[in-house]
Amino acid sequence: MDARTLEALAEMICGDGPDYPVYRTGSELTRFFQRVGFSNFRHDGSTRKWWTLDVLNQLTGNNLKAVVLRLADPREYRGNQQQVDQAIKKLNEILMIEGLKVELEGVRPRLKEVTPQFAQIAEEADLKPLPPPDFLNLKLEPGLGEILAHRWDEAQRCLNAEAYLAATIIMGSMLEGMLLAVLQKFPQEANRCKAAPVDRRTSKVKHFAEWSLSDMINVAHEAGWLDLDVKKFSHALREFRNLIHPYQQMVVKAVPDKDTCEISWLVVQAAANDLAKKLK
């Protein structure tokens, strides 16, 4: 095998970083090679990667093949399916340049020859609009559905112009508009929630006009209108929506981009789906 391939295998055996299924200490490296069948290799306290690479450079033919197969063996990961899948995926990325591929036959890994090739990386596609939520059928108060639908289209126009901050702010406003509409439709449920904001002077729940978007999100989750994941991502969108204030953007040093907008779209879509269950 090429020297760079062996180096990549050494990195995988050591397991430094999230790309690899398990991390192995020096003593665990010794036990790994013992499981392969080599009892004469004992980690000497030196840098783990270079020690492992030195061991691999001493192996040839079937001995090196045995190391590769052990890296793909489900027994090495105690049958953890996620770790096994990650190991085989990473291993095959390393071996493709050598014209090799690992596959499982039942629970046993096998090494087969393949034609070396690389998947071409497609150019990044333009960010296309998601299908808008069915705002007009959410049973919102008259006129609000049309406004939200218009803002969805306006957010897309901002994206086309690469005005990502403006697009994110508009999406945050859509989230707030939907939540406020549901609060006004079910005021008693909302006001009974522990997360409902209270006026310190009167000890009564504030009027909805005085609620922050954070209050709305927390109450909607407590009332069962938003799932936990949607609640968390809604707070993330809220933070970006707050960049409408220049000083806030200066403090947090955040600059929304295409990825921010894509996530924001999903948040609005998910919130609309959750709220629709309550409204319908």
pLDDT at residue 120, rounded to an integer? 53
Question: What average pLDDT does the segment 180-188 reach?
Answer: 92
The answer, yes or no, to whether residue 138 has pLDDT greater than 80, is no
At 143-159, the pLDDT tens digits run 888 898 888 889 888 98
The answer, yes or no, to whether residue 135 has pLDDT greater than 80, is no
At 49-94, the pLDDT tens digits run 999 999 999 998 999 999 999 999 999 998 788 899 999 999 999 9
Pairing type for strands 108-113 and 198-199 reads unpaired
The answer, yes or no, to whether residue 128 has pLDDT greater than 70, is no
Residue 129 tokens, joined: 């609009």
The answer, yes or no, to whether residue 188 has pLDDT greater than 60, is yes
CB 48 within 8 A of CB 26: yes
Q: How sure is the predictor about 244, in pLDDT bands with cuts at 50, 70 and 90?
A: confident
**Exposed/middle/buried for 222, CB within 10 Å: 0-12, 13-18, 19+?**
middle
- Asked if the 135-279 domain carries CATH number 1.20.120.330, the reply is yes
Element (H, E) at 198: strand 198-199
pLDDT at residue 105, rounded to an integer? 86
pLDDT at residue 25, rounded to an integer? 93
CA dihedral 167, 169, 172, 178 (to 10 degrees): -80
Q: How sure is the predictor about 253, in pLDDT bands with cuts at 50, 70 and 90?
A: confident
pLDDT at residue 231, rounded to an integer? 93
CATH 1.20.120.330 residue window(s) in the chain = 135-279
Question: What average pLDDT does the segment 233-250 reach?
Answer: 88
Residue 63 tokens, joined: 């001995």
- Mean pLDDT of all residues belonging to the chain: 88
At 213-223, the pLDDT tens digits run 999 999 999 99
pLDDT at residue 126, rounded to an integer? 55
pTM: 0.54
